[in-house]
Amino acid sequence: MGALGYVMAGARGAGDRLLADVAATLAAEGWPLAGVVQVNTDRPGSRRCDMDLRVLGRPEVIRISQSLGEASQGCRLDPEGLETAVALVQRTMTPLPRLLIVNKFGKAEIEGRGFRALIGDALSQGVPVVLGLKPDNLPGFQAFAQGFGQPLPENAAAVVSWCRSQATEI
């Protein structure tokens, strides 16, 4: 069984940047990685950013946000974009990676969609998983993890250290 670590970052976009830094560090060391990191791009004249997922180990970048207008209060997640990213990551799971990185365990995962099944499959095959988590989603994550998730500090070096301690050599 693989290890499951999560980071809850305080500032907007901080968790995304932290996981991108972790992925860049480990990729530079030659780690075979699977997963996604989120890239947020400010839109001029808008308080909302565009959200894209960069698929690790592949060239694709998938838009996962919808532009619903400035007055919109609803969820901007594009479910089709998310499912496209999941399918692409699934293709990078053979041969097994040394680590799976998931930008966020969010509402889709809580509801049984998104990366949820892929996270479970990776863990059952001994692949460690590190992911981002918003405080609002902690109860849903805990129900999924059943006490198995380990909180990690909001520090890229500490997360890299945790990854190194959990991952086995391939």
- Rounded Cα distance, 102 and 137, in Å: 14
CB 85 within 8 A of CB 63: no
pLDDT for the residue 74: 46
pLDDT for the residue 1: 78
Beta bridge partners of 38: 53
CA distances from 148 to 25, 86, 138 (A): 25, 22, 13
Domains defined for the chain, CATH in brackets: 4-166 (3.40.50.300)
pLDDT for the residue 158: 97
pLDDT tens, the chain, 170 aa long: 789 999 998 888 889 999 999 999 999 999 999 999 988 766 565 556 678 899 999 999 898 876 655 555 544 668 888 899 999 999 999 999 999 999 999 999 999 999 999 999 999 999 999 999 999 999 999 999 999 999 999 999 999 999 999 987 54
